[in-house]
Amino acid sequence: MEFKFTWIIVQLLVAFQVSSTFGFEHVIPRGLNNKPTRVIGGVTVIDTLLVRAAQAFARENSEAYLYNHVMRTWLFGALIISHNTTLQHSVDLEVHAIGSILHDLGLVLNATWISHDLRFEVDSSNRATQFVEETAKHHGTSSAWDANRLQLLYDAILLSSEPKFSLYKQATVKVLVEGVLLDLGKPDYGVTAAEYQGVEAAFPPLNFITGVNHTLVQLCVQKPSTTYDSWQQAFGDAYVPGYTPVGRFVDIFNPKTPSS
């Protein structure tokens, strides 16, 4: 009897150990990543119809600087994964690829899918998830996209501009933002200088700095209320005449602010 009780305690301890690993490390189903590959910018990446369709969609709809940024984000992420066995067992490569390629759809400010009231990351997530559902249906591969994978895609894109959250989420979510961070920084996470340069040679930054600046200023002009209390607000504060973030969360605590 006593032995049995001890055994249950041991089992519970083991269960908690295991669940913490299985929760956020998110071991992927066996065979999920067994897909064809191809080489882009010197990087071996997953090659599926849906990934190709996502790439074509991004190219068709984005300015050149933005398209090159999302491609570098994907390839840097793929390099990070190639240097890390743990990630090879925990990242859903197709979700990572499509999420990276479509993560800035909400910055295509004249597109039909841009809302007037949602943060750009939400517009990106909504459009990307819709794109995958529609395209997979068209390809007859809807069964590969259960609610869990669609949710992973949605969250990976939603949090792609907020590393303070995404670095602590599932490996797929985390590597996507690490690809973004590498593109804003320098080689890291095991990626070599030569690999980094290979990606930049294939997808050069072009007018990245002025392009991002212009797009974010435009975002603050076009849908200001979605930018208050986000990192995007700095662009409105600095460059948009008449940009008044009245109704910001902080103003609730300031009695001098006129209520709107």
Ligand X SMILES: *[C@@H]1O[C@H](CO)[C@@H](O)[C@H](O)[C@H]1NC(C)=O
- Sites of contact with ligand X (CB under 6 A): 84, 86-87, 110-112, 171, 174, 190, 209-210, 213, 217, 239
Residue (41 or 236) nearer to ligand X, CB:
236
CB of 173 to ligand X, least distance (A): 11
Token digits of residue 191: 């990626």
Residue (42 or 189) nearer to ligand X, CB:
189
CB of 91 to ligand X, least distance (A): 9
Residue (64 or 118) nearer to ligand X, CB:
64
Can you tell me which residue has the tokens 């994964």? Answer: 81
Can you tell me which residue has the tokens 């990106």? Answer: 124
Residue (153 or 177) nearer to ligand X, CB:
177
Compute the C-alpha angle 197/95/202, nearest 5°.
Answer: 20
Residue (141 or 208) nearer to ligand X, CB:
208
Report the C-alpha gap between 27 and 252 in whole angstroms.
Answer: 43
CB of 94 to ligand X, least distance (A): 19
CB of 73 to ligand X, least distance (A): 17
Residue (70 or 87) nearer to ligand X, CB:
87
Token digits of residue 145: 């996209």
CB of 8 to ligand X, least distance (A): 31
Residue (142 or 213) nearer to ligand X, CB:
213
CB of 218 to ligand X, least distance (A): 9
CB of 156 to ligand X, least distance (A): 14
Report the C-alpha gap between 218 and 180 in whole angstroms.
Answer: 21
Cβ neighbours around 58 below 10 Å, total: 24
